[in-house]
Structure 1
Amino acid sequence: MVRRVLVPVDGSELATRALEYALDVHGDDDITLLYVAGEASPMMGSAAKLALEDDLDEAILEEAEEVFGPARELADECGVSADAEIGLGKPASVIVEHAENHDVVVLGSHSSSLRERLLVGNVATKVVENAPVPVTVVR
């Protein structure tokens, strides 16, 4: 039975480990990479630069492609074709929303800087608590 696996990616080491795990364990399943751009706000770390962009959609696409490139290369090395989706908003909320269309979520135990984790909370914890499907958290 082919399952639909959602793997949120952000370019961090732990997201890469989660992708490696997903490719190893779920390599025969349908894998979807999800990049979540934070809501554009002058108060929120890396999302602040989005607030200053003239073309928000183009800026988000460029950000996402920087993350998807290495993730797709890793998938290709494993002989796996992965789809890619982009979300905009609070990462945990967007991941939970996308999880509704998948059978399992595989994500890193944390990402972002310590400062961002303190301000917005741990994304993995929020996803585990709210996802409508099983979640595998990779360290």
Structure 2
Amino acid sequence: MIDRVLVAMDDSDLAERALRYALDAHGDDAALTVIHVVGGPSPMMGAAVGLALSDDSDEEMRKAAAPVFERAREIAAEHDVTVETVVEVGRPARGILDHAEEFDAVVLGTHSGSLADRLLVGNVAKTVFDRSPVPVTVVR
């Protein structure tokens, strides 16, 4: 039985589609947690380093994640469901995988970001799918 679902979100349409899928499939029976990894993918981790070096990195992470979490709560409210939120900094796949074992399943979109990001950094969905300790649903 699936009691806890981790839904990875960024500001893409595919991430919203993944959340909608998770709500339709599990919203009545499971607790949903939305994770957003800030810092974004980049070969040199520029944005993540900038967050880490800020005076209040926790506050900066919360600010960066706020629009994603606000949208997630709006979508969840359409289904009369509330979602928990988790914010991480760094590489998206690593952030998701670091939390995956706490859940019964992971749901995420097929991809986001530019083609250059996907080619340089690798496909987040594929990495999570290949390495997750729990079942993964990839939504397109």
TM-score by length of 2: 0.88
CA contact (8 A) 2:7 2:19 kept: yes
Moved more, 108-117 or 37-46: 37-46
Secondary structure of the corresponding residue to residue 133 of structure 2 = coil
In structure 2, distance between residues paired with 1:85 and 1:30: 13
Q: CA–CA distance in 2 between the matches of 1:52 and 1:113?
A: 26
SS at match of 2:81: coil
1:58-90 CA distance string (max 9 Å, x none) = 221111111100110100111111110111221
Q: Which position in structure 1 is the counterpart of 2:114?
A: 113
- 1:21 aligned counterpart, secondary structure: helix
Deviation at 1:99, TM superposition (A): 0.6
Q: Report if the CA contact (8 A) 1:92-1:126 is conserved.
A: yes
Per-residue Cα deviation, 1:78-119 (whole angstroms, up to 9, x for no partner): 111111011122111111111100000000000122221122
**Partner amino acid, structure 1, of 2:77:** D
Q: What residue number does 1:14 align with?
A: 14
3-state SS of 2:16 partner: helix
> Could you say which residue in structure 2 is the equivalent of 1:80?
81
3-state SS in 1 of match to 2:80: coil
The verdict on how the C-alpha distance between 1:127 and 1:10 changes in structure 2, with shifts beyond 3 A counting, is: same
Q: Which moved more, 1:23-32 or 1:42-51?
A: 42-51
Segments of 5+ residues of structure 2 without an aligned counterpart are: none
Tell which deviates more after alignment, 1-10 or 78-87. Answer: 1-10
What 5-or-longer segments of structure 1 have no aligned partner?
none
Question: Per the alignment, in what secondary structure is the counterpart of residue 18 of structure 1?
Answer: helix
Q: Are the aligned partners of 1:40 and 1:51 in contact in 2 as well (CA < 8 Å)?
A: no
Aligned-residue identity in percent: 55
Counterpart secondary structure, 1:32: strand
Kindly tell me the number of residue pairs found equivalent between the two proteins.
139
Change (3 A) 1:112 1:42: closer
Return the TM-score normalized by structure 1: 0.89
Which range moved further: 124-133 or 111-120?
111-120
Taking only aligned residues, the RMSD between alpha carbons, in angstroms, comes to 2.3
